[in-house]
Structure 1
């Protein structure tokens, strides 16, 4: 489509429509939506108030119908928004998609502007269902990610679908895209998902450039978080006190070696991933049976306390408490 051109949007251009909305897309093409005032007013108090004021006799017309220029609204965003107003049932299918955060970002942006609360409320509800708010919830998602990676690896190596995995897609969950989740949470007022969404984005290592169109404030939060987490972790390096300085059982081997390796892996996780949220066993900080039961309990408690403290301070690390 040529720059500066214009076009009607077929599925949102009704012959009996009594108002035309116009907006430009990213290619500077003016697009026209012939819609019904009653539909807009039903969903949006902003439109309802707008239509209570009679249009001036000098108002521009398009195809014999009054036209309102939607200054500041992108035509593609407006299309997604109006589509939901005419087909509210479609949002249920969108919420089931793996990329629902991207698909609902534009509608929620305009729903916030025009006070269409049901779109924002449904998006916020799905976000809250999709993101963990505790360390245990994080572990659940990470375990599922590992299972999916293994499943995909088996399929890639074997060149076929392994029958043992037939029921797995119905059981496993993965986290939504973190960047679009943050953007969507800002539009639909779902701040509770932000700590773990920022954490997930941090572990993607995309720290030094804002590829995701985050706001300047949120981009800055991401940049400074690793340093804040590193400073916090260094204060936890209590090498002179139990259990990091010596094994609980008093034996130098193998508990002491495993103990030191566990702390080294903790440090490595913080450097690479920006957090200490890995399982203590099962390919986490150490394997089961590598320490005596007494040392295992002490280390598990120590790591558990670190993890709980870390989660409790996520808001601070990402400056979400400001």
Structure 2
């Protein structure tokens, strides 16, 4: 019997793509993330990042990879994150950190998350644009109520789940109380355990945060029940009202029951 050897087709290595917005003709180093290359200036990078300063100070081997005579540094970050990060460093018109009228310019959560991740990793402190997250998830109730209308800089409000994971990653833990509260309002136990697919990617909390959310849901339910107890408790004997108190209590009890059916029983601040 003839035996035919099956030969796998050759694998063609695709050439890395240049990121034109962050490709400077007078650049003296190339950084590659995934299959994308950025031609940058070492002096800018080393001045702003001690991590890049240490990296570029190391002697290069004679057989180091080069493109057009320039050394290539591979970083293990997403190309999209790297593009936002390098643009924030090199492009003066990239006004993520601009502060018109005392507040940061409107932007997207994706940009803020990318720059926060990489500025934390590469220790570029001035780019840690934490004010955007602080406005979206403030630490006081008055600011939180104001945030619902005008303070947030995100035209599309970020996912609470994505915000929680980002806050853990870049150590901006002060946004966690409101982000976790927001997440618990709309997320059932099954989804807390299994995670949520967003833009084709499965996002999930750490085991510790899953436990935290399950416990918090019970606390939020109990806080709503406290108001129900207040509304249904007997009127004090010395009440001088003309019956309006009882009518108002009954009205608000009906409203609370309707909101409970709509899921608002997990949002005690809204119920109160």
Instruction: State the distance in 2 between where 1:73 and 1:201 align.
Output: 27
Residue 190, structure 1, aligned to residue 172, structure 2: yes
Within a 5 Å distance, the mapping from 1:55-204 to structure 2 comes to 55-70=60-75, 72-87=76-91, 90=94, 91-93=96-98, 95-97=104-106, 99-120=107-128, 123-142=129-148, 144=149, 172-173=150-151, 176-179=157-160, 180-204=162-186
CA RMSD after TM alignment? 3.3
Match of 1:210 in 2: 196
Match of 1:225 in 2: 216
Instruction: State the distance in 2 between where 1:54 and 1:60 align.
Output: 13
Q: Is the 8 A contact 1:230 1:270 kept in 2?
A: no
Match of 1:10 in 2: 20
- Describe the shift of the 1:3–1:226 C-alpha distance in structure 2 as closer, same or farther (beyond 3 A): farther
- Residue 31 of structure 1: how far off its partner (Å): 1.3
Q: Is the 8 A contact 1:266 1:276 kept in 2?
A: no
How many pairs does the alignment contain?
239
- Residue 187 of structure 1: how far off its partner (Å): 4.3
1:180-218, CA deviations, whole angstroms, 9 ceiling, x for partnerless residues? 443443344322222122223334457624245354344
Q: Is the 8 A contact 2:18 2:37 kept in 1?
A: yes
- Residue 14 of structure 1: how far off its partner (Å): 2.2
Give the match's secondary structure for 1:11. Answer: strand
Q: Is the 8 A contact 2:135 2:151 kept in 1?
A: no
Match of 1:22 in 2: 32
Q: Is the 8 A contact 1:178 1:198 kept in 2?
A: no
Instruction: State the distance in 2 between where 1:62 and 1:82 align.
Output: 19
Q: Which has the higher contact order (CA 8 A, sep 6+)?
A: 1
Using structure 2 for the length normalisation, give the TM-score: 0.72
* Structure 1 portions without partners, runs of 5+: 25-29, 145-171, 279-284, 286-302, 304-322
Q: Is the 8 A contact 1:19 1:66 kept in 2?
A: yes
* Structure 2 portions without partners, runs of 5+: 1-11
Within a 5 Å distance, the mapping from 1:280-295 to structure 2 comes to none
Q: Is the 8 A contact 1:128 1:190 kept in 2?
A: no
Give the match's secondary structure for 1:227. Answer: helix
